[in-house]
Amino acid sequence: MNIFRLTGDLSHLAAIIILLLKIWKTRSCAGISGKSQILFALVFTTRYLDLLTSFISLYNSCMKIIYIGCAYATVYLIYAKFRATYDGNHDTFRVEFLVVPVGGLAFLVNHDFSPLEILWTFSIYLESVAILPQLFMISKTGEAETITTHYLFCLGVYRTLYLFNWIWRFYFEGFFDMIAIVAGVVQTILYCDFFYLYITKVLKGKKLSLPA
């Protein structure tokens, strides 16, 4: 495992933990898109079905279980335990406009036409756009809490580091996965505007606001 993948995984884990702690400590999920969290739970579920069929390493299996567990824990906190604080009026992104096209694309463009491979490809495509409901919600409300922006920033860092991971693997291992790379580039692009606002505002102590 190279340093880019390791730090990318740690950034991803940090983002998930930041979000869970934010919800648990404040006893509120205000400003959090439940729809994005459902999409991420779907991403991890469809990607890590190989837990039932293969073993790569203890690290790999543990991280997969943590991602799945944390994703569903977040969904539970939003839609059950702290449902009264969930702002459904602003979380209005039509997720079917993401899931249906992504499902069709995964069915048509994949490495191998098998159930597990199609589901894995679906997860890769869906992850690249799963954050859109959250960004849409922030643009609709006009601002985001600092802790929420830290969560988004860590997600963006994770995705960017994984692009370097693919470059590393290509040069040192001869491994090249066009589907993962293209999806990663799309996802990183979605964070570019947010990165700029995060660096220029949040790090200076200002509340982040996105244009409606």
What pLDDT is recorded for position 17?
94
Please check the confidence at residue 212 and state whether its pLDDT lies above 60: no
Say if 133 falls within a structural domain. Answer: yes
Q: How much is the mean pLDDT over the chain?
A: 88
Show the tokens assigned to 54: 């293969």
Mean pLDDT of 2-23: 93
- If one counts the domains in the chain, the total is 1
Say if 212 falls within a structural domain. Answer: no
Say if 206 falls within a structural domain. Answer: no
Say if 208 falls within a structural domain. Answer: no
Q: Which domain holds residue 191?
A: 3-87+94-201
Say if 72 falls within a structural domain. Answer: yes
What pLDDT is recorded for position 43?
97
Please check the confidence at residue 82 and state whether its pLDDT lies above 60: yes
Say if 211 falls within a structural domain. Answer: no
Say if 153 falls within a structural domain. Answer: yes
| pTM of this structure | 0.89
What pLDDT is recorded for position 152?
85
